[in-house]
Amino acid sequence: MCLLDGVLSWDNTRILCSALSHQASDNPLRRDGRLHAICGIEYAAQAMALHGALAVEKTRPQPRLGYLASIRDLACRVPYLDAVEGDLVVEAERLLDEGSRVIYCFALSGAQGVVMSGRAAVVLEA
């Protein structure tokens, strides 16, 4: 399942992606016709994984598998993502990279501003 539509920009520490899938009636994360805000974590996780793949492309032949270990300081400012008009912009910034552990902060924004933010710890396979 790919929820992101494109990469707007990226560098060694940050990625900015866009998505319209939050408005799709066939979004696989919808329940009872709605897309709960907590599903924004999956959007952020996909942006982090994409950033990891792009950032290591030149240094490793294959990106490593990663597992979401924890979410901290999560703030959901809307109850449902499907209510966000226009593009959903997903930003992830790598704060720490210790080889087998990576920490990102992330934010999802829409026309009304930031709708979700938090930090995520990812454990990478050796």
The pTM of the full predicted model, rounded to 2 decimals, is 0.93
| CA contacts within 13 A on the Cβ side of 92 | 30
If pLDDT is split at 50, 70 and 90, which confidence band does 60 have?
low
φ/ψ of 89, rounded to 5, equals -100, 125
Q: What's the pLDDT at 63?
A: 67
Range of the domain at 91: 6-124
Q: Which H or E run contains 2?
A: none
> Is pLDDT at 70 greater than 90 in this prediction?
yes
**pLDDT at 61 exceeding the cut of 90:** no
State percent of the chain over pLDDT 90: 81
- Residues 44 and 52: their CA atoms lie apart, in Å, by 12
Whole-number pLDDT of residue 125: 85
Instruction: Identify whether 29 is part of a domain.
Output: yes
Whether 1 is in a domain gets the answer no
| Rg, the chain, Cα only | 14
Give pLDDT tens digits for 90-111: 999 999 998 889 999 999 999 9
Percent of the chain scoring above 70 in pLDDT: 94
The two structure tokens encoding residue 123: 């454990």
Number of domains in the chain: 1
Asked, for residue 52, whether it belongs to a domain, the answer is: yes
CATH number at residue 78: 3.10.129.10
Q: How many CB atoms are closer than 10 A to CB 46?
A: 18
Mean pLDDT of the chain: 93
Instruction: Look at residue 66 and tell me if it is in a domain.
Output: yes
User: What's the pLDDT at 122?
Assistant: 96
Looking at residue 32, its pLDDT comes to 95
